Amino acid sequence: MNAATKRIEAVPVPDARKAEPQVETVQPSEAGPPPQPAKPKKRRNRLLMLAVPLLLALGGGYVWLTGGRYVSTDNAYVHQPIVTISPDLAGRIVAVDVTENQAVAAGTPIFHLDPEPYRIALDKADAALASARLSVAQLRAAYATAQAKLTAAEQILDVRKREFDRQKALAGRGVSSSAALDEATMAVQVAENDVTLARQGVAAAAAALGGDPDIETDSFPAVRAALAQREAAERDLSKVEVVAPVAGIVSQIESLNVGQYVTPGTNVASIVETGETWIEANLKETQLESLQVGQPTSIHIDAYPGVELTGSVESIGSATGSQFSLIPAQNATGNWVKVVQRVPVRISVTPDADHPLRDGMSVTVSVDTGRTRLDKLG
């Protein structure tokens, strides 16, 4: 056996049972901690996890502090005055002069009532006025007659007194008899009674003329009453033509027909005044702190997407909308829940001929208060 063979044989043969521990000693080195270059990556992840919430908090705080300048709500609507048309008289309709949604000016005839009954009433009032004036003339004549009677009675009394004085003088000289003196005395007394009655007749005639014989005819009470009746009849005749009280657009006129009988105060149609328009925005009570009259407002109409109108705060309501409801809320109960109330704010709007507004349209308003939350803190 040579030397090489000896060297080979001298190499010990590994035992399988002894090799197992060697495999186990290798595994811990493979499952151990990561290599050193991975540690900076973990630090960056931790920094990002801290920085992102911090940046979000700072950004949110900045947005909150710089916000609050604009007060907005979509609980807002267009409003225009609506005037109800109703007749002042009762009567039958003989003509309708307008149609639905027709634009009219103030004074435009809307419909006509039958004028004949009121024309007859005016004729009666004219006759009553003429009769009253005639009665005044008769009273003046009676007063003149009473004055004439008084004058005649006074003249007769004067004659009777002179006759009495003459008979008295003759009786004193024994020329006249006592019977003649008695007759003269009786004639004086009768004449005095006639004067008294005539004066009472003049007073009665003057009282019939209101105590003023020189009163004007149309100032006499009976004549004034007749004049008032005539004016009322003339006014009624003029009211058979029902006209538009304001300028606007006629609505709800389709139910009015010729031959229909209407009574005073019956709502037969309406006129929407398009010349006066405003916005009523129902803002929350928590939004009123910075709100002031005159602040500029941007208005967006739901009917005109993308169109922005301008306006300004005109007035702020004196009470919440719930206070004007027919049945106000009763909060004196054990299950009361606080609800944020809304206050109506009137906003004027600059008209735009290309985008006409209609009563009741929905809008969104945004009021520029001019101050952010940061300004309020300062």
Contact 223, 136 (CB under 8 A): yes
pLDDT for residue 7: 43
Mean pLDDT to the nearest integer, 50-60:
76
Q: pLDDT by residue (tens digit) across 261-287?
A: 999 988 999 999 988 999 999 999 988
Confidence of residue 141 (pLDDT cuts 50, 70, 90): very high
pLDDT for residue 66: 58
Instruction: Collapse the DSSP code of 13 into the 3-class scheme (helix H, G, I; strand E, B; otherwise coil) and give the result.
Output: coil
Q: Check whether 3 has a pLDDT greater than 50.
A: no
pLDDT for residue 171: 78
Superfamily of domain 69-80+275-377: Efflux pump adaptor protein, beta barrel domain (2.40.30.170)
DSSP assignments along 105-171, one per residue: -TT-EEEEE--HHHHHHHHHHHHHHHHHHHHHHHHHHHHHHHHHHHHHHHHHHHHHHHHHHHHHHHH
- Produce one character per residue of 340-355: b if its CB has 16 or more CB atoms within 10 Å, e if not: eebbbbebbbeeeeee
Mean pLDDT to the nearest integer, 249-258:
91
Paired tokens of 110: 């809307």
pLDDT for residue 250: 95
| Burial class for 298, CB neighbours closer than 10 Å (0-12, 13-18, 19+) | middle
CA distances from 312 to 70, 354, 357 (A): 13, 20, 17
Q: What's 87-112+241-266's CATH class?
A: mainly beta
| pTM greater than the 0.75 cutoff | no
Of the options 1.10.287.620, 3.30.450.60, 3.10.150.10, 1.20.120.1200, the CATH number for the domain spanning 117-236? 1.10.287.620
pLDDT for residue 172: 78
Q: Check whether 13 has a pLDDT greater than 60.
A: no
Q: pLDDT by residue (tens digit) across 85-110?
A: 999 999 999 999 999 999 999 999 99
**Packing angle between helix 116-173 and helix 178-208, nearest 10 degrees?**
160
Domain boundaries, the chain: 69-80+275-377, 87-112+241-266, 117-236
Confidence of residue 10 (pLDDT cuts 50, 70, 90): very low
Q: Check whether 247 has a pLDDT greater than 50.
A: yes
Q: Check whether 375 has a pLDDT greater than 70.
A: no
pLDDT for residue 215: 86
Contact 149, 201 (CB under 8 A): yes
Query: Measured between alpha carbons, how far is 139 from 134 in angstroms, rounded to an integer?
Result: 9
